[in-house]
Structure 1
Amino acid sequence: MTNWKTTMGRLAIAPVLAIGMVASLAAYHHERPVVAKAAAPAPAAAGLDDNSASALLALDNAMENLAARVTPAIVNVAVTSKAKEDDQAQADIPDEMRRFFGPGFNPHQQQGPQIEHGIGSGVIVSPDGYIVTNNHVVNGAVDVRVTMSDRRVLAAKVIGTDPLTDLAVIKVEGKNFPSVPWGDATKLRPGQTVLAFGNPFGFRFTVTRGIVSALNRPNPSPDDSRKPGQFIQTDAAINPGNSGGPLVDARGEVVGINTFLISSSGTFSGMGFAIPSQIVRPTVEALMRDGKVSHGYMGLGITDVTPENAKFFESTDNRGAIVTQVEANSPAAKAGLKIGDLITR
């Protein structure tokens, strides 16, 4: 810890050193005069040709227009919840997702239920106020407030949640809300441009740009083989507080919902993951319609075949799905399925 004496001592050193340097230079100049030479001007950096500059400016303009079109449909989700005494709710969340949940705090240790506050992100997907976010953002919520892009703060109701896919739908009352259309994540290819929207660390309405780094990443949580994989991996910067925000393609369509990151520090290190729209959209539609989702159970984890994992599993066929998990005593296990099996139909 720095005290005032140390600080003042450090501050006092600077003038002494400066005086010493001036004196030394003056003495050197007195004894050995040196004729100053003008430095040669550095060559001017070559500018971009008109075609290259125009291409970059056109790209910037397109991204600017895309961000301006999507941002009005982004919301900040502020949640008040009661912490369970055994903290089972947190135990059910993988470490990656827990770090991604965003700033939360419990400043007072009091008797009775403990109150926690957290933040996340969401995206409006219909003009009548339905909002998609993550289940782990609103799990156990007793109060949900959303901040719109025009700074209005509205109360939101939890319509339904699905822990298996980590998706949730909340709703605000009103009409004619700005919304973002659904895209098709099955058409994504590595290298394509994507934008991540959300509220990292509470910095509202942040947009970052990156690419699709990889597709069909498996579920990182080994505790439940029923949880679907197929995650989109991206290097678009996402951090705690981005959870529940959309991943948008160059058309301005939702191709994923950001849900977790992998990092040794808990902050972004180039590996963010989003639930793809082919999982998000039917889940959200079921939650909007019924308030819940019914899942079939096989006790089986799969991922799509890619040239990379086909080599790993020694498969010569690039079609179908590869079994990545088989739960003990599950229907899949009883049927004889094993990790590494290739399912083609």
Structure 2
Amino acid sequence: MHMKLKSILLVVVISALTAVLSVWGYSKWMQKQYAGTQESGKLPVNYAGFFDKNNAPAGPVDFTAAATSATPAVVHIKTRTKAKQVTNNLPNRGRNPLSDFFGDDDPFSDFFGGPRVQMIPEQRASGSGVLISEDGYIITNNHVVEGADEINVTLANKKSYKATVIGRDNSSDLAVIKIEGSKFPYLVYGNSDDLKLGQWVLAVGYPLNLDVTVTAGIVSAKARSININKSKNAVESFIQTDAAVNPGNSGGALINTNGELIGINSAIASPTGSYAGYSYAIPVNITKKIVNDIIKYGAVQRGFIGIQFANEAATDEQKKAAGIKDGEGIYVTGVPSDGAAKAAGIQKGDFITKINGVSVETGPQLQEQVTRFKPGDKVAVTYVRGGKEYTTNVTLKNIAGNTDIVKNEPTNILNKLGGDLATVDKAVAQKNNIAGGVVVKKINGGLLKGTRMEAGFIITRVNGQDVKTVDELADLLKSASGQIQLEGIYPGYEGTYGYPLNLSGAGEEENGDNQ
């Protein structure tokens, strides 16, 4: 009996020892799988904490709650741009006796110095938008609504509304529109700073004129610039994802798995114009500041540090002179004498490494941080000079070099045109068979000076919308930005004439080198 008990105990001990050795051996084997070619068997430092209980690789993710929360607040936007008649801007200097026979398609009009008339057909387009308040404010892309004469919004419940433009911003490609009503569903803001590479995200929108569509992907890069925005002082610091985004998704929502808005889908990297692997969204931390400015002031309050910086990486010699490490900092190539940086002591040759304690290594990262502030705000700028690190407070300025609040007021816009404007006399309007318009009595300078327009021109339309008075012209210009089209007549001459006009042109610095 005693021998039998000893045998049983021996079997138990051997079994236990075998189990322990098996677990230990498996653990060592697993470490080698994750340790690559390292002979020590230790995990690389970048895997620190990876297998901790709280940081273990996540299991399957369920997107249903996030998708259910977001889809009612993402809308389908359809726009219509009326047909336009444009000419070559040449006044008639003589009448072709055959013009009555040929009409607007007169092939001999050039011989008589007359305008060549061309008709641009009606255009229709669609995109997406995101409701951000229960009273109907909607974020979308500027390129979705720019130049549109009519904007219609359809919710996921199939209810449709007419929308008006509150304001647009070319530099960020964002716009705010509004529908009338109450108790609309809307998305809550998340925090795009918290996004991490590899994190799951969902794109919600109306691609290819389909009903509301949800696609999933991961964050594949942050602070990405793809040079798609050609406006001056363009802001590009995109969230790059591999969630499928197609034409029609523009202006739609990028959300996290909590259903929070973390970006506005804006662009596709594709040789065909359709999804080919990558899509780009404007971070919500940039978006909400721009949207708040548009709603509050009618214009974006954009602050500038007042530096010029290199788009390409600094040379080894430049880094060595400043005592900077590889990959750190933005090389300052110039400091305008009237800028905010100059007043704060920043010099050419410095390397800016942080904005308010947040590390920045590229131009897009710098833009993303500075875009969150308005002129007059103080930001802490950390820079390296001669191997030493300094931090200074910079009071941001606007593009005009001061800290004034910029409001998109009609009087300011009309002054920007640089002409003496007046509502056309009723007798002149009747004689020229027009309902009204704005006569340009004199061109003093400003934006009008850059066109081929001559004094005496009567503006009758802006971007295809009729204009009868100076106030109506001001109202239309208030909600416009970027390039617009002015149309009208010269009294005594036949035909209509069109002049492209860039509202964002005067006095702005070139994009890419300045902040």
TM-score (norm 2): 0.45
CA contact (8 A) 1:234 1:273 kept: yes
Match of 2:203 among 177, 191, 196: 196
Q: In the alignment, what sits opposite 2:178?
A: 171
CA contact (8 A) 2:239 2:263 kept: yes
What SS does the corresponding residue of 1:180 show, helix, strand or coil? coil
Q: Is 1:280 aligned with 2:287?
A: yes
Counterparts in 2 of 1:151-230, with a 5 A limit? 151-221=158-228, 223-224=230-231, 226-230=233-237
Q: In the alignment, what sits opposite 1:144?
A: 151
Q: In the alignment, what sits opposite 1:248?
A: 255
Q: In the alignment, what sits opposite 2:269?
A: 262
Q: In the alignment, what sits opposite 1:322?
A: 330
What SS does the corresponding residue of 2:152 show, helix, strand or coil? strand
Match of 1:235 among 229, 242, 247: 242
- Deviation, 1:223, is 4.2
- Deviation, 1:331, is 5.9
CA contact (8 A) 1:225 1:299 kept: no
* Cα 1:299/1:272, change in 2 over 3 Å: farther
String of CA shifts for 1:65-92, please: whole Å, max 9, x gaps.
2101110001000011247778xxxxxx
Report the AA paired with residue 244 of structure 2. Answer: A
Report the AA paired with residue 118 of structure 1. Answer: A
CA distance in 1, matches of 2:84, 2:310: 33
CA contact (8 A) 1:233 1:273 kept: yes
String of CA shifts for 1:210-247, please: whole Å, max 9, x gaps.
00000011251474562112210000010111000011
Segments of 5+ residues of structure 1 without an aligned counterpart are: 1-53, 87-109, 304-308
CA contact (8 A) 1:299 1:330 kept: no
* Cα 1:72/1:121, change in 2 over 3 Å: same
Count of equivalent residues: 258
Q: Which has the larger radius of gyration?
A: 2
CA contact (8 A) 2:332 2:352 kept: no
What SS does the corresponding residue of 2:285 show, helix, strand or coil? helix
Q: In the alignment, what sits opposite 2:69?
A: 69
- Deviation, 1:130, is 0.5
Report the AA paired with residue 80 of structure 2. Answer: T
What SS does the corresponding residue of 1:141 show, helix, strand or coil? coil
CA distance in 2, matches of 1:282, 1:159: 15
Match of 2:135 among 128, 132, 143: 128
CA distance in 2, matches of 1:263, 1:203: 20
What SS does the corresponding residue of 2:287 show, helix, strand or coil? helix
CA distance in 1, matches of 2:190, 2:314: 27
Q: CA RMSD in A?
A: 3.6
CA distance in 1, matches of 2:198, 2:299: 35
TM-score (norm 1): 0.65
CA contact (8 A) 1:228 1:301 kept: no
CA contact (8 A) 1:218 1:302 kept: no
CA contact (8 A) 2:219 2:241 kept: yes
* Cα 1:79/1:222, change in 2 over 3 Å: closer
What SS does the corresponding residue of 1:237 show, helix, strand or coil? coil
What SS does the corresponding residue of 1:72 show, helix, strand or coil? helix
* Cα 1:333/1:122, change in 2 over 3 Å: same
